[in-house]
Structure 1
Amino acid sequence: MVSNPLSKQYWHEVRDGFSIVGYDGLVEKAVVDIPDPGSSHDLGQSSKDSGYKISTGSAIDSDSLHGNNVAFEYGENLNKDLDIRHLLTLAIGGSIGTGLFVNSGTSLNTGGPASLIIGWVIISSALFTVINALGELAATFPIVGGFNVYMTRFVDPSFAFAVNLNYLILWIVSLPLELVAASITIRYWNREINSDAWVTIFFVFIALLNMMDVKFFSEAEFVMSIIKILAIVGFFILGIVLAVGGGPTGGYIGGKYWNDPGAFHGDSAGSRFKGLCSVFVIAAFSYSGVEMTAVSAAESKNPRKTIPKATKRTFWVITFSYISILTLIGILVPYNDKRLLSGSSSVDASASPLVIAIENAGIKGLPSLMNAIILIALLSVANSCVYVCSRVMVSMALTNTLPKVFSKVDKRGRPLYSIFATLFVGLLSFIAASDKQEEVFTWLSAICGLSTIFCWIGINLAHIRFRAALKFQNRSLDELAYISQSGIWGSWYGVIILVLVLIASFWVSLFPVGESSADAEAFFEGYLSFPILIASYIGHKVYIKNWKWVIPLEEIDIDLGKKNTIWNG
């Protein structure tokens, strides 16, 4: 016997022969066929009130709401139009952007080429456990917003609120940041036109894409992601040619810059280790967006098949892209090249190590092409920002942590209120022409600087608690649509590595690279998101008056929202 979801706290009403059931805020409206025992009724398309598909093997009493063999398929009115290539390119679109094309130069400058590779490899190993944990959960529970609900149900509602609020802020702040970066990128060709004019063009373009059906949106993202992948492949081939001396200026480079100025930045072992620690947070930030496969799960055609494949392919495509390109960057650009710090801001493409490598080779025309690709990458990430924010807002509204209005979805499957709210914050991008824009975005970025790490820790903890609940309730792993390749111990490894990264980030934020004394401003720029996380957690605990650290294993519902799961009441 398995717990009946309808035995929880609910509301219901009978309408047109169907019982409409609300459950604990996680399920807003479920429709169950009452009149004819043994019948099945698919309401996924025919009911404007529900995106849920319920079939019954026996009658459900509209008064007692106790029934047998109820198959429950969770999913709001969001369209289920995404296949594997869409899920893959959405994740690529969200994660391959300024982190690889621009911010990697900052890491090269502070850590050196060896630190660059070591830092990204360590973060990649933690990411492998996260993506596998997420694949297992998302394939089993293809729910709107994904990991927000996983943390709420398997760990603790207050923890979920704090983590997801930080995650929402990360993406909602990234939208104006990417649009401003795109306007700065245009200066490579034209410095006379006001930056806000370009922001207007880009803002309207992104808004129009997100107002389309998810199918059209995902196709646009697919095209932009393909361009980025082709650019990465092209630079990889070019980088090898340049490294062996095949460029116009000639001369074998090889490991030249690993010897002079060196593999690590720093005069002592302590300073070199600090340089390595400074790489971790930038590496994690650059990978943010990989978890989008879970955000998109409720809009995929066949989550049990597409989610596992998409998560695994996403990890290998993105990890290979980063590690291969970063290795070549470390070979082609010395860490003490002043141009790595010459940008007007952290998103200025003129500081891109890829552009610098091509300029060093003396290849005319290619720097301009690479700049255009960076522009496309920025717009792709901005596009993903609106998508992620709107879906996370829907999920948080369904768990009663945002106003219910944000959960509303129109007939075309668009969460319009959530999209409009995200675009409204995007209007911050119109400070692009202001001389204060760098200062403003420095502090906006500080608010969410560690959000990706918090999110990944939360995903792994949700996986750990889910597996513990399965074991406690004597359930088999054979029930799962996909089993994590890294397993429960992999999730623990990921949590430990990411906690160590937070500790290293604390040290580097308080005592920045090149500084011997504490720097309060640098600390808050790098670690402000942590006190915000704690304040959000405590505030939510006080609001809901629940002082349990975690949800007891016996209270964890491991069935609600499971794809094609049968309940026996």
Structure 2
Amino acid sequence: MAVQLAQAFLASGSTIATAGPGGALLAYALIGIMIYFLMTSLGELATHNPSSGAFFTYGSRYVEEGFGFALGWNYWYNWAITVAFELVAVQFIMKFWFPEIAGFYWSAIFLAVIFGINAMTVKGFGESEFWFSMIKVVAIIVFIIIGIAMIVKIMLTPDVSVWSNWTKGDAPFVGGLQALVGVAMIAGFSFQGTEMVGVAAGESKDPKKTIPLAIKQIFWRILLFYILCIFIIGTLVSYDNPLLLHAAESENIALSPFTLLYEKAGLAFAAGLMNAVILSAILSAGNSGMYSSTRMLFDMAKEGRAPKWFSKLDTRGVPMNALYATTAVAALCFLTTFIGEQQVFNWLLNMSGMCGFIVWLGIAISHYRFRKGYTAQGFDILPDLKDGDSYC
């Protein structure tokens, strides 16, 4: 889930401006519910058959070989492209501090960092992700604390009415059904990455215990990272604030709704702070994307669905050839040298978003076929799962 927090930091303002506080909250809630059920489906599949190549393995076994083959390559391409997308985003973020330095250099530096992290052992990747995630979680918790303090007027003057933003103008639902559907697509992109629990299943020591636990935690992460934050922003910032509408369309981090709230609370250092937090979120997204796509390509090669060259491991157990291939695709970020940064950013965003939705559809179809076969043999719930762990 944390993979697309960088996008959520910026896009949340645009969703509220487009659909109002109620529309944005409903869109994120509906997509969140869908994702939770989708991940319980994946959790059941991963517990029954742990595999690093989760998606193509399940697609091949429970649907048909061609379906799994296409799903695996789509997922590899999805996250290889996402790494390139995040590296372009780095160029925008670093302009905040170093506007005179060409973005090409920042993409090269951070691509080298991400490559280096993934060239280490799995332990090295896990440790780096722990610290990246810690920064994001702390930032979200601090934001929630400050937001609640503002709502109860600890950090606002008593004459300021915060609840009026839910009844102002066309609020809480602005733009009707059309706006709701539009922001639901943005919300969906923000949730991409939650399916990585399936990729990690194959390298977990005790997947029958850890996978159900990880799936349960997704509910609380959805509630904390998205629903509560959208509620706070919608309550404290009016949907017709022009800065909200432009937040997701600008490379100026000062337009982030998170930054707007910090400034409203009287915290002058908000822009620099959020810039650092979003940079860490981008690095985490690129790091996780590189790991997942590399492991997917390696696993496909082991099962004969990709050239065997990608199945080779070095002495540390890292599939370096698969890592080289993924890094080559990530180098598409350097197209910004020849084409406009914003244009390349939009291209990669659209490609990644579409591939992500295809992955989710593939998981749903694979789980449906699995359940049909499992129940046809007289079974219901997997022995290792409780009722709440299985999607019905």
TM-score normalised to structure 1 length = 0.64
Deviation at 1:200, TM superposition (A): 2.3
Q: Which SS does the other structure have where 1:449 is aligned?
A: helix
> What one-letter code is carried by the residue in structure 1 that aligns with 2:93?
T
What is the CA RMSD across the aligned residues, in angstroms?
Answer: 2.4
> What one-letter code is carried by the residue in structure 2 that aligns with 1:144?
S
Deviation at 1:296, TM superposition (A): 0.7
2-structure distance, mates of 1:205, 1:412:
18
Change (3 A) 1:311 1:190: same
1-structure distance, mates of 2:335, 2:246:
21
Task: Indicate the residue corresponding to 2:265 in structure 1.
Answer: 361
Tell me the alpha carbon deviations over residues 111-159 of structure 1, each in whole angstroms, 9 at most, x when there is no partner: 1111111011111111121111111111121112212211111012333
Deviation at 1:408, TM superposition (A): 2.5
1:213 aligned to which of 98, 101, 121: 121
The reply to whether residue 482 of structure 1 matches residue 385 of structure 2 is yes
> What one-letter code is carried by the residue in structure 1 that aligns with 2:136?
K
Task: Indicate the residue corresponding to 1:284 in structure 2.
Answer: 188
Higher strand fraction (1 or 2)? 1
1:149 aligned to which of 51, 57, 72: 57
Contact 1:106 1:340 in 2 (8 A): yes
Deviation at 1:285, TM superposition (A): 1.1
Change (3 A) 1:241 1:262: farther
1-structure distance, mates of 2:72, 2:199:
12
Task: Indicate the residue corresponding to 1:418 in structure 2.
Answer: 322
Contact 1:239 1:328 in 2 (8 A): yes
Change (3 A) 1:274 1:260: same
Change (3 A) 1:468 1:339: same
Task: Indicate the residue corresponding to 1:317 in structure 2.
Answer: 221
> What one-letter code is carried by the residue in structure 2 that aligns with 1:160?
G
2:275 aligned to which of 324, 349, 371: 371
Change (3 A) 1:257 1:479: closer
Task: Indicate the residue corresponding to 1:545 in structure 2.
Answer: none
Deviation at 1:286, TM superposition (A): 0.8
Deviation at 1:435, TM superposition (A): 5.7
1-structure distance, mates of 2:387, 2:344:
41
2:293 aligned to which of 383, 389, 392: 389
Tell me the alpha carbon deviations over residues 482-535 of structure 1, each in whole angstroms, 9 at most, x when there is no partner: 25637453xxxxxxxxxxxxxxxxxxxxxxxxxxxxxxxxxxxxxxxxxxxxxx
2-structure distance, mates of 1:467, 1:272:
37
Change (3 A) 1:342 1:471: closer
Contact 2:262 2:270 in 1 (8 A): yes
Q: Which SS does the other structure have where 1:142 is aligned?
A: coil
Tell me the alpha carbon deviations over residues 454-508 of structure 1, each in whole angstroms, 9 at most, x when there is no partner: 222222222221122123334x34654325637453xxxxxxxxxxxxxxxxxxx
Contact 1:185 1:349 in 2 (8 A): yes
Contact 1:168 1:389 in 2 (8 A): yes
The reply to whether residue 295 of structure 1 matches residue 199 of structure 2 is yes
- List alignment gaps of at least 5 residues for structure 2: none
The reply to whether residue 103 of structure 1 matches residue 7 of structure 2 is no
> Bigger relative contact order, structure 1 or 2, given CA contacts below 8 A and separation 6+?
2
Q: Which SS does the other structure have where 1:102 is aligned?
A: helix
2-structure distance, mates of 1:105, 1:434:
30
1-structure distance, mates of 2:45, 2:10:
33
> What one-letter code is carried by the residue in structure 2 that aligns with 1:198?
W
Contact 1:140 1:480 in 2 (8 A): no
Task: Indicate the residue corresponding to 1:169 in structure 2.
Answer: 77
Tell me the alpha carbon deviations over residues 35-78 of structure 1, each in whole angstroms, 9 at most, x when there is no partner: xxxxxxxxxxxxxxxxxxxxxxxxxxxxxxxxxxxxxxxxxxxx
Contact 2:75 2:355 in 1 (8 A): yes
Contact 2:247 2:257 in 1 (8 A): no
Change (3 A) 1:194 1:155: same
2-structure distance, mates of 1:189, 1:225:
23
Task: Indicate the residue corresponding to 1:17 in structure 2.
Answer: none
1-structure distance, mates of 2:128, 2:46:
24
Task: Indicate the residue corresponding to 2:154 in structure 1.
Answer: 246
Change (3 A) 1:223 1:241: same
> What one-letter code is carried by the residue in structure 2 that aligns with 1:247?
M
2-structure distance, mates of 1:446, 1:123:
18
1:226 aligned to which of 126, 134, 156: 134
Matches within 5 A, 1:265-280: 266=174, 271-280=175-184
Deviation at 1:350, TM superposition (A): 3.6
Tell me the alpha carbon deviations over residues 300-330 of structure 1, each in whole angstroms, 9 at most, x when there is no partner: 1111111111121133223322111111111
2-structure distance, mates of 1:249, 1:264:
24
Contact 2:118 2:290 in 1 (8 A): yes
> What one-letter code is carried by the residue in structure 2 that aligns with 1:390?
T
- List alignment gaps of at least 5 residues for structure 1: 1-91, 490-569
1-structure distance, mates of 2:130, 2:274:
19
Change (3 A) 1:275 1:304: same
Contact 1:341 1:351 in 2 (8 A): no
Task: Indicate the residue corresponding to 1:456 in structure 2.
Answer: 360
Query: Any runs of at least 4 consecutive aligned residues in structure 1 with deviations exceeding 6 A, and if so which?
Result: none
2-structure distance, mates of 1:477, 1:344:
45
Higher helix fraction (1 or 2)? 2
2-structure distance, mates of 1:345, 1:484:
44
2:35 aligned to which of 127, 148, 157: 127
> What one-letter code is carried by the residue in structure 2 that aligns with 1:285?
F
2-structure distance, mates of 1:231, 1:121:
21
Q: What number of residue pairs does the alignment pair up?
A: 392
Q: Which SS does the other structure have where 1:448 is aligned?
A: helix
Contact 1:114 1:263 in 2 (8 A): yes
Contact 2:121 2:317 in 1 (8 A): yes
> What one-letter code is carried by the residue in structure 1 that aligns with 2:128?
A
Q: Which SS does the other structure have where 1:295 is aligned?
A: helix
Contact 1:120 1:323 in 2 (8 A): yes
> What one-letter code is carried by the residue in structure 2 that aligns with 1:147?
F
Contact 2:27 2:180 in 1 (8 A): yes
Deviation at 1:265, TM superposition (A): 5.9
2-structure distance, mates of 1:348, 1:157:
46
2-structure distance, mates of 1:377, 1:463:
31
Contact 1:116 1:326 in 2 (8 A): yes
Change (3 A) 1:341 1:421: farther
Larger-gyration structure (1/2): 1
